[in-house]
Each structure stands twice: as C-alpha cells, then as structure tokens.
C-alpha cells in the first residue's frame, strides 16, 4: 500500500497535481505550527528512543560475543548497558506516544472548533449544496484523519530517516557488503511502486465520498423517522441502506484484495533480501570472519533497516489520506461567508420605535435563469400584522429568507428602514433585529427553560412565565411535573405539535426583537388560540412588525396588509380582495 501511494505521488508530480497536495498540507500546518515546541520535543524523544535502541542492540552483540567466547570480565557492564538502554528506550517510546496523543487531541479540537465557526458563518446558499450527512462526515471523520497525522507525520519522517541512517551506519561500520545487502530492499520497494500506480489513485476520494453518502442517508432517515413509519417505508429504507452497504463493502474488498497482493509482493522482495543477508552471514560465520554476536547484530539490524524503510514508505498513504481529508475540509472552510455590515449597529438605538421591512424591485433566483421572485415590492410597518399568502412552493419562505439575509436579491433591494430614515440592507448583522419561528418543530432537547433561554441567557423565571402566557403555553407548562424545568426530547419529543409551536413562539417573544417572522408558525393551533396568541403579541409589543405566512382565515382577519405570492409575483391585495380571500379560505 505504501509503495502504491508512492507511485501516486510520482504520478501527481508528473501531472502537476502534486502542488495541490502541498497546498493541503500547508493548510494543515497552519494548525500545527502553534505546537512547534511540542513537535520538536516529539522528534527529540523519537531520536533518543531510536538511539538507545541501537545502543541496546550493539550491547547485545557484545553480550553474545562475551558469552560465546567465555570472557565474563565485562559481562555485567555490558548487560547493564543493554538492559538500561532497552528500558530507557521503552520509557521514551511511552512518552512519545503520550505527547503525540495530547497534541493530536489539541489539533483535532482546534480544527473542529474553527470549522464549526466557519460553517456557522458560511453563506446559506453555498452551504445548502452539501447534504448534512456529508458535512458531518467531513467534520468528524476527515478532521480526525487530519488531526491524527498532522503532528506525527513530519516528526515520524525525521525520526524514520534518522533511524534508517543510524542503523545503516552501524551495519556499515562492521561490514560494507552487509550494509549494501541491507540497503538492497530500498530500490526494490521504489521500483515496485510504479506497478501499483493506477490502483491507488482516487481510492481515498471514492471511499470518503461513499462514507459521506452513507452518513447522509442515515441522517436523513433518522431525522424523518415519523414520516418513514407513518408511510410504512421501513423496508424501503432498510433496503436502501443495505444497497449502500453492499457498494461500500465491494469498494472495501476490492481495495483489500489489492493491498493483500501488494503486501505479498513486497513481503516476497523483503524475504529475498533477508535470505540473502542470512546466507552471507552464514558464510562470514563459516569462514570465521565474524562472531555469533556480530551475526545476530547484522540480522536484527538488517530487518530493522528494511522495516524502517517500509515504515517511511508507509507514511505516504498517511500523507495522501490527510491531504484528501484536508481538501474536503477546506471545501467547507472556503465557502463564501455571509456578508456582515458593521453599519448595522446604527439600528440598535432605534429598536424601540420599530422598523419598516421593505423590498423594492426585488428579483431573486436560486439557479441562473430560473427566477423565483420577480420585480417584487413589499412593505411591513411597526404595529402591523402583514400576511404572505399563496400556494405552497411559490416563494413565501424564500421571501422570509431574504428578510433574514440568508439569501440576497439578484437585483433590487430588501432592507430595514428606521423612523429617522436610516436604511440598512439585510445582512447577517441585521438578523438580530428579527425573531423567527420557522415551519416545523424547532424545540431542542433539554428543559423548556433551556429552550427559552437560548435567546436570552439571563432571563428570569418570571420573564419566562410572561412570554409563555403571551404564547398561550403557560397553561400546559404549569401542569407539567417540573414546570419550566420539565425535560423534552430531541425535536420536542414529549410535546404535541401545537405545544411545541407555542414554546417556539414564546422563545421568539422573549428575544424581543423589533420584527417577528412567523412562517406557518401557528398551523398546529386551533383558531381561537391562534387569534389569542397574535393579539397578545401586538398588545404587549405594540411597536413590533409582525410578518406571517399562512393559509388560515383566522390570521388573515387580523392583518392590516396582505400580499399574495404566486407565479413569481408578489402583489399587495386591496382591502376588498383581502376580505374576499379571507372568506374564500
């Protein structure tokens, strides 16, 4: 496997893609350079461990020569040196392993934290092109691959090269021919790598892509368990998983067969060198040119020289694997960032008066030449409830995303306008002026209090009870065994849809932002509760700008303004049209 990877490196050198590998590793080293002293300590410990190993081997030679020659005068000293060197070598290897593990964990955490922050700040549209399972696979598996090799790879090369040269010099000191025989495995390993060139290429990418597909499939299944069960799709999804597993298994077995063939060929070459060395040692021993101790030293160090060179070659797959993983991570890290406009802070002192939410001449498209919204105009003012109505899939949620600055117009404007005339285009910073309740269940695992305090960590229990009352949720929360401290499961498990929606609305009210966005957020409530919640919000927060997407007539009769979204158009309805539409629902 190592020689095949080496062949891949040669190929990349020829076709010009080796530069990409270096770029990936340059990126990895940006995380490891802060641990340069620890890396230096790692290298020093490795070199010392290797050196004491050689001292122990030479001491073993003299011990055997002394015993076979029946000269015991220096035996105790040599044994002390041999045993002491071996023990020190073991201690140093243990320290090296400990240092390596600690640094790898630090690097793993650093990379994960950095990537997590950058993914959270990535452009929504760019990030949405990656399935969640793929992102998770990169975030966990690829980061672990990089972290495990980021610290050890370069030091292991330095230590391996030192060990190889030091071992070669020891053998060379005693016998030149034996040193050349021991070195003979190196060119065999290098030349054999060219045969395995095409087999290694693209394997890592294929396996990692398959891993991402598996994780994405599993994540989708687990997050949609209710749908799968309700439609009786368990068998279909189970079969789908097994089909993916079958493909994964075939990829793995193909590569396993390739590595077995490679290792067998390399083992044959290594054995040939070992037998040659053994035969030459027997000849030297037969002709009395060496003693038994020297023969033992030759054979053990010849094997060590061969294994060290194989280990160095074996570092090449680690180099390639880490580069592939780093490249996949960098794809996430290099996603476009959300725009942050520092001028948005000028809105903060004006929040009490509320803001207008405006769109003018707005056109938006997710894909080129496929507009979703065309030439839209929209206005919502403080103290108003403004409705967005229309068939599903016509662009209502897209308008909400535009208001939140998650996506940006292809042309035209979407902005906040303060009472003093200040206008700020929507961006990541204006999002703090919004409280948002999306479609679906957005309650997270934890207590009800935890879910509410997500948006205001220092909120008192009295504040929590107040917003729960406004959201018509305190009645059922107060009856729970532990009230505010009652636990709920992931995605609000343990609550009904209506209860979960009211908790989410209470959380949005607690945030107390000037603009409240409700995207079908009251769909699970009965009409009376829905009307009461909206009345409570407007009465308690009169300067809020409330924007709702809905199909419910009970909401429409409360709205001061109504926009219909259909066929890529956003049109404000007249009072007569709005009244007629409310009756038609």
Q: What is the pLDDT of residue 416?
A: 92
* pTM of the predicted model as reported, rounded to 2 decimal places: 0.68
Q: What is the pLDDT of residue 486?
A: 84
Per the rule left: phi > 0, alpha: psi between -120 and 50, beta: everything else, 375 is left
Integer Cα distance of 486 and 129 in angstroms? 37
pLDDT above 60 (res 258): yes
pLDDT above 50 (res 9): no
The stretch 147-163 carries a mean pLDDT of 80
pLDDT above 60 (res 191): no
State the distance between the two ends of the chain, measured CA to CA, in whole angstroms: 67
Q: How many residues does the chain have?
A: 585
pLDDT above 70 (res 114): yes
The stretch 551-574 carries a mean pLDDT of 79
Where is average pLDDT lowest: 171-185, 205-219, 289-303, 378-392? 205-219
Write the CA distances from 41 to 27, 424, 509, integer angstroms. Answer: 22, 53, 55
Q: Which residue blocks in 334-416 are alpha helix, DSSP H?
A: 396-404
DSSP H/E element including 578: helix 575-584
pLDDT tens, residue by residue, 50-91: 888 888 888 887 777 777 765 566 667 777 777 777 787 788
4 confidence band (pLDDT: 50, 70, 90): very low
pLDDT tens, residue by residue, 403-425: 988 889 889 999 999 888 898 99
Burial profile 51-64: b = 16 or more Cβ within 10 angstroms, e = fewer:
bbbbbbbbbbbbbb
On whether the CB atoms of residues 50 and 166 are closer than 8 A, the answer is yes
The CB-based long-range contact list for 237-246 (8 Å cut-off, 24+ gap) reads 241/214, 241/217, 244/210, 244/213, 244/214, 244/217, 245/214
pLDDT above 50 (res 398): yes
Q: What is the pLDDT of residue 8?
A: 46
The stretch 343-372 carries a mean pLDDT of 87
Q: What is the pLDDT of residue 18?
A: 53
Which single residue is written with the structure tokens 């070669």?
A: 168
146 confidence band (pLDDT: 50, 70, 90): confident
pLDDT above 50 (res 388): yes
pLDDT tens, residue by residue, 331-341: 888 888 888 88
DSSP state of 390: -
Above pLDDT 90, what percent of the chain? Answer: 3
Phi and psi (nearest 5°) for 530? -60, -45
pLDDT above 70 (res 5): no
pLDDT above 60 (res 269): yes
Q: 3-state class of 57 per DSSP? A: helix
Write the CA distances from 471 to 312, 458, 518, 531, integer angstroms. Answer: 65, 20, 13, 11
Integer Cα distance of 139 and 302 in angstroms? 42
pLDDT above 50 (res 562): yes
Between β-strands 370-380 and 385-389, what pairing exists: parallel, antiparallel or unpaired? Answer: unpaired
pLDDT tens, residue by residue, 476-534: 888 888 888 888 877 767 778 888 888 888 888 888 889 988 887 766 677 777 778 88
- Hey, what are 485's tokens? 């401290």
Integer Cα distance of 488 and 559 in angstroms? 33
Phi and psi (nearest 5°) for 565? -110, 110
Query: Shortest CA distance to 135 belongs to which of 109, 150, 110, 116?
Result: 116
224 confidence band (pLDDT: 50, 70, 90): low
The stretch 286-290 carries a mean pLDDT of 82
pLDDT above 80 (res 584): no
Q: What is the pLDDT of residue 202?
A: 59
pLDDT above 70 (res 7): no
DSSP state of 139: I
204 confidence band (pLDDT: 50, 70, 90): low
Q: Round the average pLDDT of the chain to a whole number and report it.
A: 78
Greater model confidence, 583 or 489: 489
Q: Residue 382: how many CA atoms within 13 Å on its side-chain side? A: 17
Between β-strands 434-437 and 515-519, what pairing exists: parallel, antiparallel or unpaired? Answer: parallel
The stretch 219-247 carries a mean pLDDT of 72
Strand partners, 388: 549, 563
The stretch 142-158 carries a mean pLDDT of 78
pLDDT above 70 (res 201): no
Alpha-carbon Rg for the chain, nearest whole angstrom, is 35
pLDDT tens, residue by residue, 160-188: 888 888 888 888 888 888 778 777 666 65
Beta carbons within 10 angstroms of residue 379's beta carbon = 16
Greater model confidence, 191 or 455: 455
CA dihedral 195, 196, 198, 201 (to 10 degrees): -150
Where is average pLDDT lowest: 26-35, 200-209, 276-285, 293-302? 200-209
Phi and psi (nearest 5°) for 522? -115, 20
Q: What is the pLDDT of residue 2?
A: 43
On whether the CB atoms of residues 11 and 194 are closer than 8 A, the answer is no
- 68-72, 141-145, 262-266, 576-580 — most confident range: 141-145
Integer Cα distance of 520 and 169 in angstroms? 77
Phi and psi (nearest 5°) for 567? 50, 45
Q: What is the pLDDT of residue 272?
A: 76
Q: What is the pLDDT of residue 13?
A: 43
Q: 3-state class of 456 per DSSP? A: coil
pLDDT above 70 (res 579): no
Query: Shortest CA distance to 138 belongs to which of 46, 68, 211, 48?
Result: 211
DSSP string, 93-105: HHHHHHHHHHHHH
pLDDT above 50 (res 1): no
Strand partners, 569: 566
Q: What is the pLDDT of residue 415?
A: 92
Q: What is the pLDDT of residue 94?
A: 81
């Amino acid at each position: 496997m190592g020689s095949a990877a080496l062949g891949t490196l040669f190929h990349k050198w020829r076709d010009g893609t080796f530069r990409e590998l270096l770029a990936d590793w340059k990126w990895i080293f940006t995380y490891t350079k802060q641990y340069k002293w620890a890396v230096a300590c790692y290298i020093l410990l490795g070199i010392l461990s290797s050196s004491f190993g050689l001292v122990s081997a030479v001491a073993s030679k003299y011990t055997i020569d002394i015993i076979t020659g029946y000269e015991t005068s220096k035996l105790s000293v040599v044994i002390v040196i041999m045993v002491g060197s071996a023990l020190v070598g073991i201690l140093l290897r243990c320290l090296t392993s400990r240092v390596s593990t600690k640094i790898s964990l630090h690097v793993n955490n650093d990379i994960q934290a950095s990537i997590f922050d950058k993914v959270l700040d990535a452009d929504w549209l760019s990030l949405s092109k990656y399935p969640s399972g793929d992102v998770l696979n990169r975030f966990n598996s690829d980061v672990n691959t990089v972290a495990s090799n980021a610290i050890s790879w370069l030091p292991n090369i330095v230590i391996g090269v030192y060990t190889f040269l030091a071992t070669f010099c020891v053998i060379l000191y005693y016998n030149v021919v034996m040193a050349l025989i021991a070195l003979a495995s190196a060119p065999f390993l290098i030349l054999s790598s060219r045969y395995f060139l095409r087999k290694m290429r693209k394997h890592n990418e294929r396996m990692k892509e398959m891993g991402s597909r598996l994780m994405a499939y599993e994540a989708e299944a687990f997050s949609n368990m209710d749908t799968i069960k309700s439609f009786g799709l368990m068998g279909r999804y189970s079969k789908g998983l097994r089909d993916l597993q079958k493909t994964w298994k075939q990829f793995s077995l193909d590569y396993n067969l390739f590595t077995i063939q490679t290792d067998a060929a390399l083992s044959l070459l290594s054995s040939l060198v070992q037998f040659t060395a053994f035969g030459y040692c027997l000849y030297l021993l037969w002709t009395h040119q060496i003693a038994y101790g020297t023969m033992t030293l030759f054979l053990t160090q010849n094997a060590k020289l061969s294994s060290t060179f194989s280990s160095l070659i074996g570092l090449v797959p680690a180099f390639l694997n880490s580069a592939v993983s780093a490249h996949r991570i960098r794809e996430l890290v290099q996603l476009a960032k959300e725009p942050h406009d520092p001028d948005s802070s000028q809105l903060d002192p004006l929040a009490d008066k509320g803001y207008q939410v405006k769109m003018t001449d707005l056109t938006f498209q997710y894909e080129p030449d496929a507009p979703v919204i065309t030439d839209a105009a929209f206005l919502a003012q403080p103290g108003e409830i403004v409705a967005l109505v229309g068939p599903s899939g016509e662009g209502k949620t897209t308008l909400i995303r535009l208001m939140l600055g998650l996506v940006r117009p292809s042309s035209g404007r979407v902005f906040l306008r303060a009472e003093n005339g200040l206008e700020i285009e929507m961006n990541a910073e204006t999002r703090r002026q919004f409280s948002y309740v999306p479609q679906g269940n957005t309650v997270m695992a934890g207590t009800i209090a935890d879910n509410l305090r997500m948006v205001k960590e220092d909120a008192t229990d009295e504040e929590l009870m107040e917003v729960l009352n406004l959201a018509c949720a305190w009645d059922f929360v107060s009856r729970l065994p532990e009230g505010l401290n009652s636990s709920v499961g992931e995605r609000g498990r343990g609550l009904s849809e209506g209860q979960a929606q009211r908790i989410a609305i209470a959380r949005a009210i607690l945030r107390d932002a000037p603009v409240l966005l409700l995207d079908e957020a009251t769909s699970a409530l009965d009409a009376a509760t829905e009307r009461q919640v909206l009345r409570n919000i407007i009465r308690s927060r009169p300067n809020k700008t409330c924007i709702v997407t809905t199909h419910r007539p009970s909401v429409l009769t409360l709205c001061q303004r109504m926009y219909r979204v259909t066929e890529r158009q956003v049109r404000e309805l007249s009072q007569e049209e709005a009244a007629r539409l409310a009756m038609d629902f």
